[in-house]
Structure formats: structure tokens, C-alpha cells
Amino acid sequence: MERIINNSLLSVIIAGLIVLGTFGCQRGKQSDADGPTVAFVMKTMNNPFFIDMQRGAKEAADKFGINLLVQAAEREVDVEKQMQIIENLIQRKVDVICVTPSGSKEIIPAIVKANQANIPVIIVDTRVDAEALKESGGKTAGFIGSDNVDGGRIAGLFIIEQLGGIGKIAILEGIPGHETGDARLKGFHEALASQSGITLVASQTANWERDQGYNVFQNILQSHPGVQALFACNDMMALGAVEAISAMGKTGEVVVVGFDAITDGRRAIAEKRMSASIAQHPYDMGKVALEKAWALLQGQIIPAEIPVKIELITAASLTNN
């Protein structure tokens, strides 16, 4: 009798697993009644910048009845993981893919695979390498983002003004060869080009990360104790540098300018631990990305370039707002 009961229970469990397995397979592609599925592949969700971007995307997705699927690698430097995520989404047959590329060239094979599967790709925040994309035969529906070159230039002009055109400065770079960081560096160097009184004493990568920003800038301060200003290519590295400055008892002695104007960065500016940051408005990027994804799903053609405003954030501007 006990054996019969156990066999019956086993049959029920197996049947349940089959039902769950069938349901799980169906989740890969939403039915038309449930609305289209748009995937948003971000560099990471460990950065408030991308959390804000997700919030904007969700607002637009809810408005249009879009099933929003957000995925990301644990670290921004993990290009291979991001490509794997995209390939899995292609297998799931999502309707549109929005992506903030971790590698401007490395992402191209995944874009080509999406093209072959007839899945439109919208690029957000970080551009892909245009020449490499053309050579591959790949295409994207459009780009949504800020002018990073102009942002770097604004940061450079601000530091020059703060130093009165004379002083020693350092740079914390992003991932080497990464389009976003390279563009910000280009603009920053353009601002410094005609400034003979400004000396660049160090320019090193901290890979976009806060802990590396702390370690790298601490080493710079030890090697160049007279450094008067720092440009960090994102706020996470800038905040790490601010902590290094504090640990060495130099708070207020170094002009620190970041990029992204995330909440922690704005707080540091308000508290006079950071001097400024360049705001990109990631919430708007995410919102516009989903709006344009919806337009594509309606058979519309979206602009190749969709700019999002950029601005300098200082203690004064925070007070005025």
C-alpha cells in the first residue's frame, strides 16, 4: 500500500515538473496578447547610472505595455558575458534589443547575429565602432546618448577655470579602448591643448570602478603630492578618489571633477568633497530607448542619432535647483 502511494506521489511530482517545464519554455517569448518583449542589456547593475537608466526604461515600457527584460554582467569590463547575454536573448526571440556596449568593437558579432535573426538593435550611451560595424555588414537602428567629447571638454574648461590656468592635474581613465572613456578623454585633452600653464602629471585607468579609483589615485597622490586637480571619467572612480583624498587628510585641497552626476556624486558635490560632475541624464536615455523601441515595433524608422542633453553640475547649480 505504501509503495502504491509513493508511486502515485512520484507520478504527480513528475507531471508537475513537466507542466512547469512547458510553462518555462513558453516564457522565452511572450505571446502577442501579452505585448512585445524588449530586452535592455546594460553594462552592469552595480552602478547607479544604469539603475536610473532602468527606471526610465520601465516608465516607458509600462506606458506602452511592453514586457521589459533587463540583464547585465556583474562588472562593466566583462564583455564576453554581455555578448553571451545577447546571444541568449536572440535564442529567446525577443522583439527588440537595447544595449549599452561594454566593448565598442567586441559587441559587433552579437549585433550581426541579432541582424540575422531580424531583431532590431538600439545602441544606448556608448557608441559602437562605426568602421568595424560597416566592415562586418552589421547595422543598428539608432544611437541614443550624450556627446561625451563635449562633456570632457566642459570638465577640462571647468578645471582650468578653478586653477586659474596654472597647476598640476591627473586623470582617472575608464576601460582602455572603450569608446565612452576615449571620447571623454579626447574632449578633456582638447580643452587643455592651449593651456601651457597646466601640467598633466598622471593618467591611469581605474576601469570605471570605485575601489580601483581609490587605489589608483592614492598611488598618484603618493607619487605626485602636489597634484591640484583630478578629472575622473566617471563618478564611481571620482568617489573612490575622494575617499583616497580624505584618507590622506587632503579634503578640499584637490579639485575633483567626475562624470555622470549620480546621486552619490551630487551628494559629494553638495558636501564640497567633489567640485563638479558632468550630468548625462541616464533616466532619459532609458525612457527614450523604450520609446524608440516601441516606434520600431510599429514599423517606424527612428533617427540614426538621438541626443540626450549634457550639463555641468556644481554646488551652485544644485543650490539653484
Give, for all 321 residues of the chain, the pLDDT tens digit. 433 334 443 343 333 433 333 333 333 344 444 789 999 999 999 889 999 999 999 999 999 999 999 999 998 888 999 999 999 999 999 999 999 999 899 999 999 999 999 999 999 999 999 999 999 999 999 999 999 999 999 999 999 999 999 999 999 999 888 888 999 999 999 999 989 999 999 999 999 999 999 999 999 999 999 999 999 999 999 999 999 999 999 999 999 999 999 999 999 999 999 999 999 999 999 999 999 999 999 999 999 999 999 999 999 999 876
CA distances from 262 to 61, 138, 236, 250 (A): 23, 33, 9, 23
Angle at 218 (CA atoms; ends 204, 167), nearest 5 degrees: 70
Per-residue DSSP letter, 278: E
Give residue 305's region: left, alpha or beta (phi > 0; psi -120 to 50).
Answer: beta
The residue behind cell 570602478 is 209
Query: What is the distance between the alpha carbons of residues 220 and 223, in angstroms, rounded to a whole number?
Result: 5
CATH topology of domain 32-146+282-308: Rossmann fold (3.40.50)
The whole-model pTM stands at 0.80
Note the Cα 28 to chain centre separation in Å: 26
CATH 3.40.50.2300, the chain: domain bounds: 32-146+282-308, 148-279
Top CATH class of 148-279 equals alpha beta
